[in-house]
Structures are given as C-alpha cells and as structure tokens.
Amino acid sequence: MKPNETLLNTAETDKLLFDQMGDDHASSAINTPLRADAFDIDDDTKIARIAENFREIMHTLGLDLTDDSLKGTPYRVAKMYVNEVFSGLNPKNKPEVALFENKYRYNQMLVEKDITFFSNCEHHFVPIFGKVHVAYISSGYVIGLSKINRIVQYFAKRPQVQERFTVQIANELMRVLKTDDVAIVVDAAHMCVSSRGVQDINSKTVTSHYSGKFADEATKGEFLKYLTLE
C-alpha cells in the first residue's frame, strides 16, 4: 500500500469513529492513556519527529514555510510540546516530595486555593485553564506548600480530561501525604467550548473530589466557605 493510500485509509477510519462518537468522548480511565513504548525514544528524537510532522500539517494547510515568521514554527511547537506543555507525560518530571513530621500538631484542614494551571484538552488539543483549590488534614505528616502547586502542574502538563485531572491530583496527594482526608475543586474554562463548536465564552466547568473526613458535610462546607473568602 502506498503512503498516501495509508493516510487516506487512516483519515477515513478517524472520520468514521468521529461520526459514530460525535462529542461523546468521555473517558473512564484514571491513568492518562499511554503506550508501553511511550519513552523508548529520547526527547530530542521526539522533538525532531514532531517538528517533521507539524511541518507537514502547516504545509497541508497551505502555509508558506519559507516565510521568516513561519519557518521556525515546526521546531518551536515540537520543543514546546515535549519540554513544556506535555512534559507531565514523562514520569521523570514527576516532582519529588519530601514528607515532614507535623511538629506543630496542627490537626485542622490546610487549604491552598487559587492555584493557576494551564492544560490541554485531549480531544481537540486546545487549552484548558483555570484554578485548583486543595485541602488536606494531616495524618501526622506535611509537605512544603510549593509541592502542592508542583503536583498540580505536573498533571496539568499533559493532554487532559478535567475529571481525570481532578482524580489524579487527589490520588497523588493521598499517596504522598499518607491520608485519605483530601479535598479538590477544579474550576476551569475549556477553549474547545469557547473557541469552537458552541463558542460559549462564559461557561466554566467545575469538578471536585472529597474523601476521608471531607466526605462529612460539615467539613466539606468549611472547605467550600474558605474558597469564597477574598
């Protein structure tokens, strides 16, 4: 089979799948879907391959890649994908978190709110952005505040679904903090909603996770009250 025929057959298969699914693209996978060989090649090779393929996308769209403004774009996009916006795919970039004994014996909830994040929708590869609010109750250990931000950013820097993003943050915090007492609220805007399709620029999506003591309505209510404070 010739290369062009392969491309056409792949495109036809993709179109058939889209016609069948439409915008019904929910995923129940907690882990980001990755192939077993996802990290068999190094980052430099990934950048070179992505640049080559993105150059072809631009060429197919009819753009003049000899133009001074465009000729460096394929490499810039590839480098951005691998080293920045999708760097959270690689487990080597997972933040190292040190636990400290809770010497202050602080046994109330700790809340860190308004953590800004930028991610990308895995269905259209356009931005998701917003804020994450986190709370936990120590089981005897604490972590540095900046580590909470780093955990959020790690899971944001990959193609994402907001529901999965919320659960991944919660699971990681429960693991590193050795506690089930964790609450997460994610409030985000999706460019796949505002810049295409229905083009609703005002709507936002809110997801949450409450476990352990935060499943109690009073504890949950206290956490949510803090989110309304200026």
Return the active site residues: 121-124, 162, 190, 192
Give the whole-angstrom CA distance, residue 115 versus residue 229.
Answer: 15
204-208 LR contacts (CB < 8 Å, sep 24+): 204/130, 205/162, 207/162, 207/163, 207/165, 207/166, 208/166, 208/183, 208/184
Residue pair 23/197 in contact (Cβ under 8 Å)? The answer is yes
Amino acid (1-letter code) at residue 148: I
Other residues' Cβ atoms within 10 Å of the Cβ of residue 129: 14
Angle between helix 145-156 and helix 162-177 axes, rounded to 10 deg: 140
